[in-house]
Structure 1
Amino acid sequence: MANTKKRTIVCFGDSNTWGYDAETDHRFNDEIRWTGLLHTELGDAYRVIEEGLPGRTSVSEDPLFEGLAGISYLYPCLMSHAPLDLVVIMLGTNDTKERFALTSYNIAQGIVRLALKARASGAGLDGKAPEVLVIAPPPIGAAYIHTPIGKSMGSNCSEKSIELSEHLAALLTGTDIHFMDSREDVSMNEIDYMHLDQQGHRNMADLVQYHVKRILN
C-alpha cells in the first residue's frame, strides 16, 4: 500500500500570514491568502497550517498589546501541530516599530533566534528537527508614514525593513536553516504600504511553493 502520509507545514507569521486586507480592514478569504493558495498549489499531499497573528513580533513584548512576542508562543505552537516537516517563519515588519527601539540587525538577530528555536524544538518526525525556512518580508513602503498607521508605527520603519534581508542572509549563512528573500518578487500594497494586496499574496504563494518543493522533495 502506498505511503499516504501528508507533509505538514506550519506558517508562523504576523498579519501578512493571517491575511489582513488593508482596503477593507478585514481578512482575505482562503482563496486569496498566500497560505491558502500554497495549499491549493501543493495539493492534498500537504497540510498547510496558518499560524499568523496581526501585530506579532519575533522576540519583543509589546507594551501596548498582550501576547504578541513570537518567542514565547513558538514552542507550544509547533508541538501542538507535530510532527512537522517544515516551519516557515515570516516576521520582522512589526519589529520595526519605533517603540521597540531595535536596529535592523537586532531584528534579524531575533528572527534567527526563533529559527534556531524551531530547529531545536524536536517537533519533527520521531522528535527530530523540522526543516525551517526564514522569509525576509517585502520592505515597508516609505509612504507608510503618511497613512493612519504611521503614527502607531513611528519613524524609520521603512529603512529598517529594507536592510533586514541583507542581515538575515548574512546571519543564516553557514547554518542549516533555509532562507528566502521576497523583496524582488513581492511588494506591499499602496494603501498602508505594509501589507500584501491580492497580487502580493499570489506572488508570495508562488515563491514559497518553489522553496517548499526544493526543501522537501
Structure 2
Amino acid sequence: MSKQPVILCFGDSNTHGTPPMRSVTDLERFPPENRWPGVVRSILGQRAHIVEEAQPGRTTIYDDPTGGGDRDGLTALKIVLETHRPIDCIALMLGTNDLHARFNLSAWVISLNINQLVLKIKQMPCGPSAGEAAQNSAHRSTSGSGAGLRSKGPHRSSRQVAGTGRVL
C-alpha cells in the first residue's frame, strides 16, 4: 500500500471558507465540501491527504492588532509545518489581508513577504526527504505570487505559472 501524498493548504479566510460577514461576530463557515481545499479533496479522492490550516484575517508576516494580534502567517507556518510533516505539497493562499489600508503595503512588498514564507518552508525539514518536496512546492508558491514574473507581461506570466503545477 502506497502512502498518500500530504497537501497542506495554508491560508486565510478564503481557505477557511468564511462567507461574506454581516458583522464581526458572524462566525459562519462554508461546509467542508464547498471550501477550495474541499473541492481539491473531492477531485483527488483517496490519491492525497488534504490538510486545511486556515485562519480568517491571517496575514503573511504581520500581527494585526484589530484581529487579536495573532494573525502572523510566518509564525503560524513553523508550527503547522512541524505538526503535519512530512508534507509533499504546500499551497500558500495568503496576501489578501496584507492589502488592508492600515498596513499601507504595495503588491511588490506583499510578494516579498510571501517569499519569506517560502524561505521558511525551504529551511524547515518538513518534506518527505529533509525538505526536498517542500522546496518544490515552495517554488510553485513563489511563481504563484507573481515574484519574478513582472517583466514578461500578464498573459505570458499566467501561462508560465500554469505550467509549474504537477499532477499527483
Q: Percent sequence identity over matched residues? A: 32
Residues 23 and 110 of structure 1: CA distance in aligned 2, closer, same or farther (over 3 Å): closer
Question: Contact 1:21–1:27 at 8 Å: present in 2 too?
Answer: yes
Question: Contact 1:89–1:135 at 8 Å: present in 2 too?
Answer: no
1:7 matched to which residue of 2? 5
Superposition pairs of residues 33-48 of structure 1, within 5 angstroms: 33-48=35-50
Aligned partner of 1:60 among 55, 62, 74: 62
- Structure 1 regions of 5+ residues with no counterpart? 138-164, 174-179, 182-206
Alpha-carbon displacement from aligned partner over 1:172-214 (angstroms, at most 9, x marks no partner): x9xxxxxx96xxxxxxxxxxxxxxxxxxxxxxxxx9xx97xx4
Question: Contact 2:114–2:142 at 8 Å: present in 1 too?
Answer: no
CA-CA distance at 1:34 after TM superposition: 1.0
Residues 43 and 9 of structure 1: CA distance in aligned 2, closer, same or farther (over 3 Å): same
CA-CA distance at 1:215 after TM superposition: 2.3
2:14 matched to which residue of 1? 16
Q: How many residues align?
A: 151
Superposition pairs of residues 181-196 of structure 1, within 5 angstroms: none
- Deviating above 6 A after TM superposition, structure 1's stretches of 4 or more consecutive aligned residues are none
Flag the structure with higher helix content. Answer: 2
Distance 1:75 1:108 in 2: 19
CA RMSD in angstroms comes to: 2.7
2:102 matched to which residue of 1? 99
CA-CA distance at 1:136 after TM superposition: 8.6
CA-CA distance at 1:112 after TM superposition: 1.1
2:91 matched to which residue of 1? 88
Aligned partner of 1:170 among 149, 159, 162: 149
2:113 matched to which residue of 1? 110
- The one-letter code sitting in structure 2 at the alignment partner of 1:110 is N
Question: Contact 1:11–1:87 at 8 Å: present in 2 too?
Answer: yes
- The one-letter code sitting in structure 2 at the alignment partner of 1:44 is Q
User: Does the residue aligned with 1:49 lie in a helix, a strand or coil?
Assistant: strand
TM-score, length of structure 1 as denominator length: 0.62
CA-CA distance at 1:75 after TM superposition: 1.0
TM-score, length of structure 2 as denominator length: 0.78
Question: Contact 1:58–1:95 at 8 Å: present in 2 too?
Answer: yes
- Structure 2 regions of 5+ residues with no counterpart? none
Distance 1:113 1:27 in 2: 29
1:123 corresponds to 2:126:
yes
